[in-house]
Amino acid sequence: MAKILVTGATGQIGAELTLALREHYGADNVIAAGHRREPPGGLAQTGPYCSLDVRDAAALNAVVTAHGITVIYHLAALLSAVAEEQPLQAWDINMNGLLNVLECARQHGCQVFFPSSIAAFGPGTPPFNTPQDTVQRPSTIYGITKVTGELLCDYYYRRYGVDARGVRYPGLISNQVLPGGGTTDYAVDIFYAAVRQRHYDCFLRADTQLDMMYMPDAIAAAMQLMQADASRLMHRNGFNATAMSFTPSQLAAAIQQHLPDFTIAYAIDPLRQAIADSWPRHMDDSAARAEWGWQPRYDLSAMVGDMLRHITAKLRNE
């Protein structure tokens, strides 16, 4: 049975991935690690948790040794908008943390999952049907760390045989965990505003088209890739994976199908708009579909209906 460590377990992906892994592999076999001393309720109640700074190689090694870890889902990172405000800290956390994880995996024979991002592309990348293998010249420190991370994971596989795999995630939409400073955060914030005020001021332009994915699909993608037959993987890190592509105005229209009195206005954040404009509009994820059977469950309509049901119930119970 796999013994799994999830770094960044208190973050947007980590919190939900940890619970899904515990359901699949057993609670005691999944160790959640985060920067907080005390975990959120769901993590504390369902299995073991430890406070961990991934930049501390000795502390990371001690956790892996103590728990006999065989698989590391490495999610600890600063996200795009926050990283632009703190570029040196973003490099320190995103890159030194990953290097420590890969080195620990080399020493202990661990498998590694590293989430890359649509941010790994840049203004010179073909924006529509962005190929799996194409120009990657990102204009943000977050994107630079993701490209570097993909290359570093590939290096550790070729040089040391570390079974490192990863997905280039688009914007992620969750009904459980609030966003943590990403450029696509509007696609979560809008649901809370719609239910509470029936109005939302969006920080991106109405026509800003970006790839998106609902969190249940994001969790499934990570677990499915890690379980895939290695002999089928022509690529290993940075698989394009997406589920839907839409603009803020299209998302608002989908919400209005359920809440006809919902309105949207636009108060553009220049930093996040510039970041969004440097990303592709839609990725070609045919490599993921062919090599490990990627297939999303949620399109825009299904995601909006499910989000509104969950957010309405959550706010009713506050």
Show which residues are catalytic: 142
CA dihedral angle for residue 95, residue 98, residue 100, residue 104, rounded to 10 degrees: -160
Cα separations in angstroms, 177 against 4, 11, 229:
21, 7, 31
Q: Which residues of 222-257 are buried (b: 16+ CB within 10 A; e: fewer)?
A: bbbbbebeeeebebbbbbbbbbbbbbbbebbebbee
| 164 token code pair | 């490192």
Cα separations in angstroms, 70 against 8, 85, 104, 177:
17, 35, 11, 27
Q: How many CB atoms lie within 10 A of CB 315?
A: 12
Q: What are phi and psi of 244, to 5 degrees?
A: -160, 160
State the Cα–Cα distance between residues 97 and 107, nearest whole angstrom.
Answer: 16
What is residue 74's three-state secondary structure? Answer: strand
Which residue type does 103 have?
E
State the Cα–Cα distance between residues 80 and 119, nearest whole angstrom.
Answer: 8
